[in-house]
Amino acid sequence: MKKRTEILIEFDELLVVSQPGKPIHLWCNACCQNATFITPAQAAVIARVTVRTVNQWVESGGIHFVETSDGFLLVCIQSVTAKVKYVAATTQTAPHQESK
C-alpha cells in the first residue's frame, strides 16, 4: 500500500497602489476593522521616536502591521497612537515630593 502525503501551501498577497507618502486604508486583522496604514518613517514622526524603535515595536508585536507583496512594511496608525499613549502612561513618574 502506497502512502500519499499532500502539502497545501497558501499565499496571502497584498498589492498596494497609492501615491508615495499618502496613508493607505486597509483591513487590520488585529483591530478587526478598516484602518489607516502608514510607513514606519511616518509612524516615527507621529510617535516622536526613531524608525528603529517603530521596527522594534513591530518585531515585538507592540503595533499592528502588514507587509506588501513588494516587501514594504506598513503600520496601523491606530495601534501606533495606542502604543504612544501606553508608553507615556507607563513612563510617567510620580510627582516629586519634598521632604520636610
Write down the domain spans for the chain: 24-89
Q: What is the grid cell recorded at 3? A: 502512502
The 10s digit of each residue's pLDDT in 2-11 is 777 777 766 5
Q: What is the pLDDT of residue 10?
A: 66
Report in angstroms the alpha-carbon separations of 86 from 5, 58, 67, 80: 48, 15, 24, 10
Q: What is the pLDDT of residue 66?
A: 94
Give the domain 24-89 fold. Multidrug-efflux Transporter Regulator; Chain: A; Domain 2 (1.10.1660)
Which has more pLDDT, 94 or 31? 31
Q: What is the pLDDT of residue 13?
A: 55
The 10s digit of each residue's pLDDT in 22-73 is 778 899 999 999 999 999 999 999 999 999 999 999 999 999 999 988 889 9
